[in-house]
Amino acid sequence: MKGKGMEDGSPARIGQRVVLVTGPSGAGRSTAIHALEDLGYEVIDNLPFSLIPRLMDGPPLGRPVALGIDVRNRDFSATALIELIDRLTRLPDAAPEVLYLDCQPDELVRRYGETRRRHPLAQAEAPDAGVAREIDLLVPIRARAEVLIDTTELSPHDLKAEIGRWFGRGETTRLTVSVHSFSYKRGVPRGLDMMFDCRFLRNPHWVEVLRPLDGRSDAVAEFVAGDPRFDEFFERVFGLLLLLLPAQVDEGKSHLVVGFGCTGGQHRSVAVAEKMAKALAAEGWQVSKRHRELERRAGGAPGTLQGDKA
């Protein structure tokens, strides 16, 4: 991430704030647009370039504007966009900023593979051809960005938090803590800031009556907490987080992701994540939870789960 001519997300000049949101397709432009809308911006997506200056001719809107721009704009070209930026910059009552959402090519190809969508610059070809063309096309725009955010390793939640840090409208942003559980068998999730291994705790999978349950159930939570090493482990991690969270706030971080992993991501990691989330919330922190492996089994009743060894 980078910023030019900005401090703590404040515009470099006074006037109608206009954020031009662009970047390669699949890098998170829609997520960023929605995040800006949630922050109170007037959001307009894919407005033809010829109409954008006319938007500035009217009376002040009373709130900042975010314009989504990509290669699907009817009259898009890198030259036209640079000319538009220069034209807006010359307006005495406008404060334009370019937000460029970047992403590594292999990750963009992976995202297109997951959604099975066609790339706008490769309708009859593989997505990698369109990704390469678009990144090359946008090189001059990337160089003009006031704010550049690389979304390669960011989840949508992380991206929204980063947008809030740069483009919040002066409100104090609280640190949000996300507590995740996961299975090491399926790999470590992207975007973790801290990770703790729970595989040393005794495993409910080997208790027949507990096997079909998950770590949200009282029986599993009590079994895991009954491990003689549990209390010291939990208190040490909890104390570490209480030490580090205020430091993260001082550094301007708006979102922190803490992961707990076990073999299958259903029992031990879930139980520890649940308990940690409750403990942090009791200390006044804003906390969200995510249980990756439980989410993969949509449709199962909460607290019950059949399947992988945990």
Mean pLDDT for 30-43 is 90
What pLDDT is attached to residue 59? 67
In total, the chain counts a number of residues equal to: 310
Helices (H), the chain: 29-38, 52-57, 78-90, 105-115, 127-137, 139-143, 156-167, 218-225, 230-250, 268-282, 292-295
The pTM assigned to this predicted structure is: 0.52
What pLDDT is attached to residue 13? 39
Backbone phi, psi, residue 2, to 5°? -150, 160
Q: Give 2's pLDDT tier (boundaries 50, 70, 90).
A: low
* Cβ atoms within 10 Å, residue 46: 12
Domain segments of the chain as ranges: 2-167, 176-295
Q: Residues with Cβ < 8 Å from 232, sequence gap 6 or more?
A: none
What pLDDT is attached to residue 116? 67
pLDDT, tens only, 254-295: 778 899 999 999 999 999 999 999 999 999 898 888 898 988
Which SS3 state, helix, strand or coil, does residue 293 take? helix
Looking at the domain that runs over 2-167, which CATH code has it been given? 3.40.50.300
Mean pLDDT for 136-148 is 87
CA–CA gap between residue 278 and residue 283 (Å, rounded):
9
Selected residue with higher pLDDT from 77 and 258: 258
Selected residue with higher pLDDT from 273 and 154: 273
Q: Residue 114: pLDDT above 80?
A: no
CA–CA gap between residue 209 and residue 263 (Å, rounded):
19
What pLDDT is attached to residue 5? 41
What pLDDT is attached to residue 1? 56
